[in-house]
Amino acid sequence: MQTIKTFIKDHPHMWWGLYLPVYLGGFFLIEHLITDNYWATQTFIDEYIPFCEYFVIPYDSWGFLLLALGLYLIVKDAEGFRRYMWSIMLTFGFATIFCALVPNGQDLRPAVMEHHNFCTWLLQNTYDLDTNTNVLPSVHVLGVLDALYAVHRTPGLRRTGWRTFADIWGVIIICSTLFVKQHAFIDVVAALVVGAIAYVIIYTIIGGIAAWRQRERRSPVENIPILEGISPDEVEQMRVCFGVREERFRADTVIYDISEGRGELGLLTAGSAVIQRIDRQGGRTILEHLPTGSVFGEMLMFENVAGDSITVVAAESCRVWFMSAEHLTRRCEKACTHHSRLVENMFHIMTGKAAALSERVEVLSRRSIREKLLCYFGLQTGGDDCGSFHLPFTLSALADYISADRSAMMRELRKMKEEHLVDIDRGQVTLHHALA
């Protein structure tokens, strides 16, 4: 019993399958209500299609095909199972509504079986269970198409012979609907048309919208240092394993209060931010600029910081992943390779941040504002005495970064510009042999 409860908990998408008994109830109700005064769908084409009782075997295997595929998708591909059920709900639902609005049937069944064997016995029982009404479009054909769509869209069946096997099986089932005289030719054609439309709706339109929304929700993982060497599929596994949550922030809003000691690590997957310190007197100092791909909270997430407030503030609209520190420090139960890679990348990032901190100390150690500016500009150009770079934050933030009064810094910048040492145009800083 506990095993069943655990399975249901791990596979909540299986409840989508409850549509099938609901559909069957409605189908059989309509089928037994409509017994006469129906539109006969047979045409002259059906006269050229022979009757063959042996095709009852593949005809009755239809349910097994749908059930086996459904069980596989429940266990192996949750999203694939949902799409599979959407397709069934759309096609079967349309067929039921159409038959209720346009009662139809066919008069192709043989009055007397020429042979008496197991297949004729099975076929007669099939006739008794499934009447000759509600035939257009053929639900048998629709179910086969739904199954084949799912098979071909399931990655786990991509490199095996299951697709070919399913295609052959499905074609035989479709043909069997004609050879056992359960459906007319027009029933099959109508089902093929409805199935094609359903594919466009489910897999092209809805699938395309879902993929677009997923891309919007999912932050890009390219060029993010902490995720280097981790594939996109592994990133998605990691998000589930680590319990990662994504939040969005507008510009100038507080993303994270490091001084609270939340024990969380933040990953900036889109946008930019700054780490700022507010002292007891209300003075603001920018400790670090965070471009896209930056990590924050790794230095202080294990200890509470008393006194001054240290916060991460969005410089523009941002998307952030949050994960608990426990997932980085504890041993992975599944021994995931991407977990070890993530920890390794974290050590490299912390090493880089130590180097950045050293540079910051070098800037703040200079006495005058000019010396601080030239030191910072030189670090941004890689130590060259001339060059150009884009300022990662506003001039006000620059004043906070070098711990200088903004008005005094702006006066110094004007003097440096007049002396042709530096030019600043819309955040683009150009040095003219300033370090010579």
Domain contains 23: yes
**Last residue of some domain: 312, 346, 362?**
362
pLDDT for residue 217:
54
**Average pLDDT over every residue of 330-342:** 66
In the structure encoding, which two tokens stand for residue 378, read together?
């030189």
**Among the listed ranges 191-200, 244-253, 277-286, which one has the minimum average pLDDT value?**
277-286
**Last residue of some domain: 362, 383, 408?**
362
CATH code for position 284: 2.60.120.10
159-215 pLDDT, tens digit each: 668 888 999 999 999 999 999 999 999 999 999 999 999 999 988 888 777 666 665
pLDDT for residue 187:
94
Domain contains 170: yes
Same domain, residue pair 89 and 150 = yes
Length of the chain in residues, anyone? 436
Domain contains 6: yes
**Among the listed ranges 16-20, 153-157, 283-287, which one has the minimum average pLDDT value?**
283-287
Same domain, residue pair 202 and 61 = yes
**Last residue of some domain: 186, 216, 246?**
216
Range of the domain at 234: 225-362
**Average pLDDT over every residue of 122-140:** 89
Same domain, residue pair 181 and 252 = no
For tokens 């409605």, the residue is 26
Same domain, residue pair 266 and 156 = no
pLDDT for residue 301:
47
**Among the listed ranges 123-127, 267-271, 304-308, 357-361, which one has the minimum average pLDDT value?**
304-308
Same domain, residue pair 327 and 384 = no
Residue 155 Cα distances to 81, 218, 232, angstroms: 12, 20, 15
pLDDT for residue 418:
85
Domain contains 164: yes
Q: How far apart are CA 105 and CA 42, in angstroms?
A: 8
Same domain, residue pair 284 and 259 = yes
Domain contains 436: no
CATH code for position 376: 1.10.10.10
Q: How far apart are CA 417 and CA 390, in angstroms?
A: 17
Using CB atoms within 10 Å of the CB of residue 205, give its burial: 0 to 12 exposed, 13 to 18 middle, 19+ buried. Answer: exposed
For tokens 């199935």, the residue is 195
Number of domains present in the structure of the chain = 3
Same domain, residue pair 329 and 211 = no
102-118 pLDDT, tens digit each: 999 899 998 888 888 99
Same domain, residue pair 211 and 68 = yes
Same domain, residue pair 349 and 230 = yes
Q: Is the pLDDT of residue 252 over 80?
A: yes
Q: What angle do CA 302, 306, 309 make, to 5 degrees?
A: 100
| Residue 152 vs residue 226, higher pLDDT | 152
Q: How far apart are CA 84 and CA 69, in angstroms?
A: 9
